[in-house]
Amino acid sequence: MNIVDLRSDTVTKPTPAMRAAMANAEVGDDVYGEDPTVNKLEAMAAERMGKEAAVFVVSGTMGNLTALLAHCQRGDEVILGDKSHTFLYEQGGMAALGGIIPHTIPNQMEGTLCLSDVRDAIRGDNLHFPRTRLICLENTHNVCNGTPLTPWYMARIAEVAREHGLKIHVDGARIFNAAAALGVDVRELVKDADSVTFCLSKGLCAPVGSVLCGSADFIKEARRARKVLGGGMRQAGVIAAAGIVALEQMTERLVEDHARAKRLADGLAEMSSVMVEPVFTNILYFSLAPQVPLTAAEVAARLRDEYGILIGPRSARSFRAVTHYWIDDEGIERTLKALREIL
């Protein structure tokens, strides 16, 4: 039985084209700046984001922490959402390793930060307070139903940032999903940001890696931060080669993942036994109706053991499902059929 793995788009395996590119990659020492494949990937990424430069990092978590270390000094403060990945799921690295203080404000349902909340969170020039340096946003916003932040919103948050002399960093792990959903060039989503991290290893299907983009001076500082975090790789072209294929071949097909997530949501909505959240990109949240006697863990176990379908419980009664390159139409229909039978 073929496994249908809806737990996350992090489970994607490299495509045949990626495996071939990795096997044939030209390599050098990246810390010396001599890996031609890494250099090509970084140049491509910077161009795609409309930025001057980029640096290849191991993961989105490393990319975000590298950005924060490059933007901030110890004792500085970052404004970010209370549901943001950087705050919830990156082990407090900004504080633990950077001495940077997270100042959380509520994420709105669509993943944004209310502009008035941002303004209220900015510290005045007072020796009793940490200095506010940075605003961090997430696009698409994972916990908030995978919602994309629009160019209009980015322009408004940029007005607040510039008014107070702050920088903006975007955790753009799924920024290409946002661009696909909104039908805009990805540059439009980050033109007002000072830095952006995006993942090659989620919907873009590469086996590992993210890229941090920004100005040339910022990336020079980011390379120092990457090195102290242990991210100075050597013959990294072997994995960067897959990232090049990802940028060349995978960004335009993300609308297919969104369509399958919508099909899954529509099918679930026909069942009285589940309650479905809105779906905007490739991420779908749904929960069991009150009358269902099973727990989410029990449903997930039956899906796995009886149907070969993997799905992630998010709480005692809820799930997250994520579509990606390795989920086809048949996989969606199998999942809907299995849930009908179980529930």
pLDDT score, position 192: 96
Contact by Cβ (8 Å): 276, 286: yes
Domains 4-9+253-342 and 12-250 share a fold: no
Q: Considering the domain delimited by 4-9+253-342, tell me its CATH architecture.
A: Alpha-Beta Complex (3.90)
Indicate the domain borders of the chain.
4-9+253-342, 12-250
With a CB cutoff of 8 Å and minimum separation 6, the contacts of 232 are: 30, 31, 226
Per-residue confidence of the chain (343 residues) as pLDDT tens digits?
799 999 999 999 999 999 999 999 999 999 999 999 999 999 999 999 999 999 999 999 999 999 999 999 999 999 999 999 999 999 999 999 999 999 999 999 999 999 999 999 999 889 999 999 999 999 999 999 999 999 999 999 999 999 999 999 999 999 999 999 999 999 999 999 999 999 999 999 999 999 999 999 999 999 999 999 999 999 999 999 999 999 999 999 999 999 999 999 999 999 999 999 999 999 999 999 999 999 999 999 999 999 999 999 999 999 999 999 999 999 999 999 999 999 9
Q: Is the pTM of this model over 0.85?
A: yes
Q: Any idea which architecture 12-250 has in CATH?
A: 3-Layer(aba) Sandwich (3.40)
